Amino acid sequence: MHMNRIKMLFEHKTKNILSVYLTAGYPDIESTVEVIERLAENGVDMIEIGIPYSDPLADGPVIQRTSQQALENGMTISVLFEQLRVIRQRVSVPLVIMSYFNPILIYGFKRFCSKCKEIGIDGLIIPDLPFDEYLTNYKDIIKGENLEFISLITPQTSEDRIRKIDTETDAFIYMVSSASTTGNRDSFTSENEEYFKRIKELKLNNPCLIGFGVSNKVTYDQASHYSNGVIVGSRFMDSLKKGMDIDQAIKNLLSVLRG
């Protein structure tokens, strides 16, 4: 059986992994594929494609804004799937879809997963689908389509629960850096670092990527130090503007993060 691209990535790379989030259909409806291709060309290890939603509860101002713009541009799940129809002829990096639960529910959960498999999506992040709800009602559907479900852990997640999530995960764990929504910040506090360290010392089976707030060299270094890598979203989205050179924006992002 074809090995999931996420697992392949972590087999040959265990440090300094960079996953970048984009809002599909932003800044223009047709931007999606171009942004994905440029990210891959610039050596980004994994790409997280965000489906815009009217009520993104876990997101801060930047992704709220890009989501609203993408919706106004006409982005929907059907449009996105059409845009991604031949994406696997263009890029080989792991692709993960991030969506709130409701749009998937309305599209049809199974239909959504089948379509993801058909396109060559590797994993799903659904921030408001709780882990227990996933286990009870959606695990079989997701696994049935060879997709990986990426669970989030936070400073509020107990060790027992983290262990359980680790057992049920077969890709990577999305470590939310702090009690926050997504967004830019200057640095992580010592309290945040304590938490990074605590998780590192759990020696989980799955790799961990830290997201929420990774937005400059300081936060990139702090997060990378304790984990297998980072997820960057708001910082990138904030820098994208209509009509700009996307390739240049990505190069700028990489130099901001890596110095």
Rounded Cα distance between 130 and 49, Å, is 20
User: Does residue number 128 form part of the binding site for other proteins (CB under 8 A)?
Assistant: yes
Is residue 259 involved in binding other proteins (CB under 8 A)? no
Query: Buried b / exposed e across 99-133, counting CB within 10 Å, b at 16+?
Result: bbbebbeebebeebbebbeebbbbbbbbbebebee
Instruction: Tell me the window of 8-16, 64-72, 116-124, 213-221 that interacts with other proteins (CB under 8 A).
Output: 64-72
Under the criterion CB under 8 A, does residue 78 sit at the interface with other proteins? Answer: yes
- Of the candidate residues 34, 41, 90, 106, the single one contacting other proteins (CB under 8 A): 106
Say how far apart CA 64 and CA 74 lie, in whole Å: 16
Q: Provide the residue type at 179 as one letter.
A: A
In the bound complex, what is the minimum distance in angstroms from residue 30's beta carbon to other proteins? 18
Q: Is 29 in the site for other proteins (CB under 8 A)?
A: no
> Judged by CB under 8 A, does residue 76 bind other proteins?
yes
Each residue 177-206 as x (binds other proteins by CB under 8 A) or -, in order, gives: --xxx-------------------------
Q: Furthest-apart CA pair in the chain: how many Å?
A: 48
State yes or no: residue 77 binds other proteins (CB under 8 A).
yes
* Smallest separation (angstroms) from other proteins to the CB of 231: 15
Locate 55 and state its tokens: 């009520």
The piece of 6-14, 39-47, 129-137, 196-204 that touches other proteins (CB under 8 A) is 129-137
Q: Should residue 102 be labelled a site residue for other proteins when binding is judged by CB under 8 A?
A: yes
Of the pair 40, 165, the CB lying nearest other proteins is at: 165
Q: What is the DSSP string of 95-111?
A: EEEE--HHHHHHH-HHH
- Measured CA angle at 72 (ends 239, 256), to 5 deg: 10
Distance CA 19, CA 15 (A): 12
Q: Which of 165, 22, 28 is nearest to 96 (CA)?
A: 22
> Which residues make up the interface to other proteins (CB under 8 A)?
53-55, 57-58, 60, 64, 68, 71, 76-78, 101-107, 127-131, 133, 151-158, 161, 176, 179-181
Residues belonging to the active site:
48, 59
